[in-house]
Amino acid sequence: MNIHLALPPLVAILALQTGCTSNSDTPASKKEDAPKAMPALDAGPDPKSAPYRGYEAMDGILRARLVAKPTSFSLTSYLDDPGADAGAGSGAQLAVLLGAWSGIGTTNALQNGDPNAMSFLIWRIAFSGLGKDVASTCPDAAGALTVHDFELRPELARIVQRLCTWPQSSAREDDTLRAFWQGMTRYDAPPGEYDAWKAHFMGPAYASTGPDVVIPLMVMSALLNPYVLLQP
């Protein structure tokens, strides 16, 4: 008596597929996809494409974070000819090159917002002037204020008074530098930006300079940071 053993249908199908599979179809012979680069967790603004916030927006940021008086404070004061009234000199015309909103309704758009060498130089001049006014609030400062009745916000003024003793060790403490950085940038920039900023000013180039030199450079470099100057 002949006994025939029948394979279950599913097992038979699997066996047939296994027998017909060529070597070129085996997983080991397939080419693996190239690994893809993971995006940065905090890429921040792209300096190649992100536009400026605009000078009016920066004026608002500075009034909220740094400047208590005058309430009409504007960066145009540092672009004007000496003695010119704020907003009445050449500074107002130069400020337009830093990004200004123009148009009505749906045509309203940011003009001159793309970073370029000329606009960056203008920003640098404006922030350098602001930094000199900040340094001029030190008790023994010799420089005159550019902006009449210039006053810092109380919380930042207290920190600046500690920086006024530079290069003494009390002015170079991490708590002082961090508080000054955050007073200007708040949390716009990631922690690594503060680390690089601090490392620069803790270097030998500023080991013997006075506050009239280091404070303006601290202000200018912090505000020129892309995380602060460019739109998020």
Half-sphere exposure of 39 (CA within 13 A, CB side): 4
Nearest-angstrom CA–CA distance, 225 and 44: 11
Closest CA to 198 of 2, 184, 63, 146: 184
Torsion angle defined by CA atoms of residues 80, 84, 88 and 94, in that order, rounded to the nearest 10 degrees: -10
Average model confidence (pLDDT) for the chain?
83
Average pLDDT of span 174-182: 98
Q: What is the pLDDT of residues 63-119, one digit of tens each?
A: 999 999 999 999 999 998 765 555 556 888 898 899 888 767 776 778 888 999 999
Question: At which residue do the structure tokens 């025939």 appear?
Answer: 4
Is residue 17 predicted with pLDDT exceeding 50?
no
Token code pair at residue 194: 């503060």
Domain ranges of the chain: 55-229
Helices 211-223 and 154-163 pack at an angle, to 10 degrees, of 130
The answer to whether the beta carbons of residues 218 and 131 sit under 8 Å apart is yes
Tokens 């130089």 belong to: 121
pTM (whole model) above 0.85: no
Q: Which of 212, 119, 131 is nearest to 165 (CA)?
A: 212
pLDDT at 11: 43
Cα(first)–Cα(last) distance of the chain, in Å?
85
Which residues are 152's β-sheet partners? 67
Do 113 and 51 touch, CB atoms closer than 8 A?
Answer: yes
What is the 3-class SS of 47-71, one letter each residue? Answer: CCCCCECCHHHHHHHHHHHCEEECC
Q: What percent of the chain has pLDDT over 70?
A: 74
Cis peptide bond upstream of 39, omega within 30? no
Q: Are 61 and 53 in contact (CB under 8 A)?
A: yes
pLDDT at 125 over 70: yes
